[in-house]
Chains A and B, each alone.
Chain A
Amino acid sequence: MLTPRDAQDLAQIIIEAGANGTKLELRGGGTKADFGAPREAEVVSLAALSGVVDYDPAELVLTVRPATPLADVQALVAAQGQMLAFEPYGAPGATVGGTIAAAVAGSRRVTAGSARDHLLGFTAISGRGTSFVAGAKVVKNVTGYDLPKLMAGSWGRLGAMTELTLKVLPAPRCTVTLMAEGLTPAAAHAMMAAALGSNADVSAAAHLARGITLLRVAGFAPSVEYRCAALPRLLAAHGSLRRLDDAEAASLWHEAMTGSALEGAVRWRVHLPARRAPELVAKFAAQWAMDWGGAQVWIASDDTGTAIREAAAALGGEAVLMQATSEMRARVPALHPRAPGVMALESRVRRAFDPLSVFATTRFRATTRFREDADADQLPA
């Protein structure tokens, strides 16, 4: 493992890798190392690039280095009554850089946006070994291309971020979870859609396979009280709601947003139009969890094929293989196939940042078809 001391060191490593034809895998905390195909790349630990650079709560802006632990950042902003509104989560040791690179977003994503919506700017070192800046350190900016969007969710394939500027927002002063029980997936979707489409400002909605439906109401206390009183009336036709205590609610939300309680060696995450979620889960026994009002579904399965991927595609969505044996990860691409034209465009955009394919490990295999084994990360000559 390579352990650059600073950004300059990191640039030198990237330049040398380009010269030698070495593939580099950028690593923050390493908590997502088992995502994607097994590979033989030189790991570059960004651990030394850690720490808060600047935080001004009143400006709603936070600048940190990539290996800063996510938990530390969340504690830092929480102490100022603020939050990362996309509700990122991670295993112990997860870093901010890794969280953004993997575009991790929790239950609030359905109303507050994802990692991409909260990365305002960054400094990175491209595959050429050149440091560059994009975006800015203010909350409102349209100067130049919005490269932070590209960087969020890029899994370290465009460049090594050395500094990230995030938008932070006030944390709600008060949060209440309302629960309905015994709803079918279709009835639960209808309730969630009615709740999210109401003016009661429901910030998250989830449904667990055992018939538990969750609605989150957050804000200032007088408003939360008012809306919690209004929602049971508003949604009476869909089912009855009761308040959960905070501890019980936290554990159920965690289950919905991470799929962590599901049983099975293989874990898929499907993003699809929420209205299609009941059709999807009808195909897969009881091992699933819906979040984002149904727009995200976790599915656990012992099936090592790609039936879930095919079902997701048929419903207008896409399935990402989040967890599987290394044998299956070697065979089935992690990311859902995109149309050939989109794949080609992605490839050209990657080359714009990384012309020598320094960051093109075999982690992401070609995904223009469901069972493609060719390696699209090797850019065309």
Chain B
Amino acid sequence: MAELKIERHFKADPAMVFDFVTKPEHLAKWWGPEGMTLPQCALDFTKPGRWFSVMQNSDGKEHKVSGQITKVDPPNSVGFTWAWHDENDVRGNESFVTLTISAGQGGGTDFTLHHQQLPSTEAADNHVIGWTSSLRKLERMGN
């Protein structure tokens, strides 16, 4: 179903990348798109628990997102749930984020971010493949 997967390569080693995606002092440096500020947050992915962040864009509009940290496996992966809050602070539909870290072949770190509407299981992953091809079909229909 709806999912996205982003792969990146970083020059830093896996231990450092893991620190940067789990420790509060590092998360605050990069969490949220360019131009967003982070007036309030509880971002500590070093242990299971709740997290949230309030991001503010240049117009002053605030966007809150929160979830539960479900998996911490240093220095390999972190998993957490994700849901946006509406203007009445009601939490919306939950999705699932997994960050995976491994040593790159020629040094550095291979990093994968997987964000999907179903928890990651083999069945869900197969589902995702089907969904992606369905969207392609839709695009062709539109052409």
A and B from one complex: no
